[in-house]
Amino acid sequence: MAETVLDIAGVTFRRGQTHILHGIDLRMRAGEHWVLIGPNGAGKSTLLSFASAQVFPTSGTVDILGSRMGRVELAALRRFIGHVNPRHPLRSNLSVREVVLTGLTGTVERPLRWEPEPHEVAKADSLIAEVGLTSRADAGWKVLSQGERGKTLVARALIADPQLLLFDEPTTGLDVAAREQLLETIDDLSVRSPQLATLLVTHHLEEIPETTTHAALISEGRLTAADSIGEVLTSEKVSAAFDHPIEVGFADRRWSARAVRTAGAVRAVSTAGAEPVG
């Protein structure tokens, strides 16, 4: 059996009087690629904050890479967790290379008086090449496109050789071409690092990488399904999670979703432009 990378058991979470998560159970193993899907406000970001060792649950347990939150130094644990967040809060104009190198320090900005070793710079340049940004290695963050920033953040997450890699809606703000390029970069990870486990959060089925192996659906703070992706992404289960009739499609290794027009909607459309009678 593959090594368990993330084990969330019986987790609940409250913020003040608001109950955000209810009895969450989720287990990920090395080499698995998960997608977490649900409507806005369902609890996706909160669940990701547990996986990234940022937030403690109100009750239940969270084991990451064999260490239980509450019994281990979180800063040390986070060194083995990569996190790709398109809302990366960088304020200065670091170059692509410098941003990638901050993955070694676990900081947003480059630390004062810190200088990378030559082999670390070489590793950064190798990863920059892998994501197709060699010609932009010296370009400043402020002039990068959203697609280039996304690729830079993937390289940044990989430089510390993580065992768990998290993607928080990584295609946010990307046009179609940039989205497809980033998804290709994510798909390449299964070849580059076969034992790397990934968890990608989205609410769009079209943004699921081809190499995704498992899926979890979350709705109103509860996981409604979690299994191999083909078992979870059915029209019935996705419709229940979003509380709306949705037809799920799968073709050429990519997923899609479209709302099912109800009979009432058809009648409303057909009569909307009709002339009044009498």
Distance CA 14, CA 59 (A): 9
CATH superfamily of 1-80+165-177+184-278: P-loop containing nucleotide triphosphate hydrolases (3.40.50.300)
Report how many helices (DSSP H) and strands (DSSP E) the chain contains, helices first: 9, 12
What is the C-alpha end-to-end distance of the chain, expressed in Å? 74
**Are 28 and 199 a contacting pair, CB within 8 Å?**
yes
Q: Average pLDDT of each block of 10 consecutive residues along the chain (278 residues)?
A: 86 92 96 96 92 93 93 85 91 96 91 93 96 96 94 94 94 89 92 94 94 97 97 97 95 94 49 40
Opening angle at CA 253, ends 249 and 254, nearest 5: 50
pLDDT of residue 266: 41
Q: What is the pLDDT of residue 121?
A: 97
Alpha-helix runs per DSSP H in the chain: 44-51, 74-78, 96-105, 118-130, 146-158, 176-192, 229-232, 235-242, 263-272
Domain ranges of the chain: 1-80+165-177+184-278, 89-161
Q: What pLDDT does residue 174 have?
A: 87
Query: Which residues pair with residue 217 across a beta bridge?
Result: 37, 225
Neighbours of 268 (CB within 10 A): 11
CB 222 within 8 A of CB 194: no
- Cβ 173 vs Cβ 146: under 8 Å: yes
- The predicted model scores a pTM of 0.88
The pLDDT assigned to 2 comes to 56
Q: Using the Cα atoms of residue 118, residue 122, residue 127 and residue 133 in order, give the sign of their dihedral.
A: positive
| Chain Cα centroid distance, residue 154 | 11
